[in-house]
Amino acid sequence: MTRSGGTIRQGLNADARLAAIVDSSYDAIIGKDLDSVITDWNHAAERMFGYSAEEVIGQSILILIPEHMHSEETEIIGRIRRGEGVGSLETTRKRKDGSLIAVSITVSPIRNSAGEIVGASQIARDITAAKESERRIRLLMREVNHRVKNQFAVILSMVRETSKRSTDPAEFEQMIRARIMALSRSHDLLVTSEWAGASLFDLVQEHLKPFGHEERISLSGPLLTLQSNAVQNLGMAFHELGTNSSKYGALAADGGHVEITWKVETGPDARRRFHLLWQETSGVEGTAQKTGKEKVAGERKGFGTVVLQRVAPQSLSGSSGLERSPGSLKWTLDAPLEAIIVPQLGAETDGDISV
């Protein structure tokens, strides 16, 4: 009797432990009969689907399955009746409030003491986060693919335009290398943010850093998060302006200064517009450009001029102006704000920040 009683108590303890494990599981565990009627429902199932056990036990499991996917349950029950299980099925289920949830389910037959199949045990795991990660990865890969193809086109244009204006192979190689490195700097900023955009401050500083003289460069304007297209095209413009300034302009002359400012204004049509100004002075008027010419705005248009006057403004649905005079150069860009900033996220601050 003692042994028998101990066996009974051990059986009860085992059942209690099993029930506790099922009840405390993070995954939804659902029991159902061969007619797809719910017989068991743990707390995780309640959290996942929004139904209490009282609401669903005795109901068809089809209340959890979107109507267009009901045939899926028919196939699952068919496999269970044949003694087969469902190892891992990624699918969609429906919550009490009607919202959909991505789940991975496993289904196994339940047998009675005689070995007959009387139902099924189903475990469902929420894979919404994993699916969202997969979606973001696919989106990023498409974006990267698009940007890489776009950069290939830009590089081909660089090679073509630069070759037209260069007779020295060494100079040609140097200019192409510098421009590709500039594209790389913009690319690095976008990769760091997972292609979400980049700060205009960061973009300007990143492209002017190779030219030095940071103490002679000032930046002023609201904090803006640029979308990827603006990052690439403004980056190209800043590189060309910086290159020109370091060779022939303010950064090549003692006492020269570069001032970059931007602002956002509302136009007459109630649309918000982005205005940027690059203003540089060479210190000693009339003597700073020792070459006697301004490469960016010279009569013979180089690739830099093409970028500033056509490529950058057109790609941003805007317009630009390029003016030069002895000892100074000014480039302006005007474009609709929506072509510049990341939608909703890229908003200007209430006050300007200067560096």
Same domain, 235 and 116: no
Same domain, 101 and 238: no
Same domain, 299 and 205: yes
CATH number at residue 60: 3.30.450.20
Same domain, 55 and 115: yes
In a domain, 38, yes or no: yes
In a domain, 96, yes or no: yes
d(CA 279, CA 257): 8
Q: Which residues contact 172 (CB under 8 A, 6 or more apart)?
A: 162, 163, 166
Same domain, 197 and 289: yes
Same domain, 189 and 217: yes
Which one of 66, 93, 126 terminates a domain? 126
Which one of 86, 101, 126 terminates a domain? 126
Residue with tokens 């009974």: 8
Tell me how many domains the chain contains: 2
Which pLDDT value is given to residue 324?
Answer: 86
What amino acid is encoded at 47 in this protein? Answer: R
Residue with tokens 């190779």: 210
Q: Which residues contact 197 (CB under 8 A, 6 or more apart)?
A: 190, 225, 226, 227, 228, 231, 341, 342, 345, 346
Q: Show the domain range for 233.
A: 143-354
Same domain, 13 and 103: yes
Same domain, 90 and 6: yes
In a domain, 209, yes or no: yes
In a domain, 203, yes or no: yes
Which one of 72, 91, 126 terminates a domain? 126
In a domain, 138, yes or no: no
Same domain, 88 and 186: no
Residue of 58, 53, 51 lying closest to 42 (CA atoms): 53
Same domain, 100 and 153: no
Q: What is the DSSP string of 115-159?
A: S-EEEEEEEEEE-HHHHHHHHHHHHHHHHHHHHHHHHHHHHHHHH
Asked if 231 and 225 count as a contact pair (C-beta separation under 8 A), the reply is: no
Residue of 42, 191, 193 lying closest to 122 (CA atoms): 42
Q: Which two tokens stand for residue 313?
A: 């403004």
d(CA 121, CA 110): 6
Same domain, 69 and 188: no
Residue of 223, 230, 242 lying closest to 280 (CA atoms): 242
In a domain, 94, yes or no: yes
Residue with tokens 């510049």: 340
CATH number at residue 223: 3.30.565.10
Residues of the chain with pLDDT under 50: 1-5, 7-8, 286-300, 345-350
In a domain, 193, yes or no: yes
Maximum alpha-carbon separation in the chain:
114
48-67 b/e (C-beta count within 10 Å ≥ 16 → b): bbbbeeeebbeeebbebbee
Same domain, 179 and 60: no
Listed as own residue / partner, the contacts of 312-319 with beta carbons closer than 8 Å and 24 or more positions apart are 312/233, 312/234, 312/236, 312/237, 315/229, 315/233, 316/229, 316/230, 316/233, 316/234, 316/340, 318/274
In a domain, 170, yes or no: yes
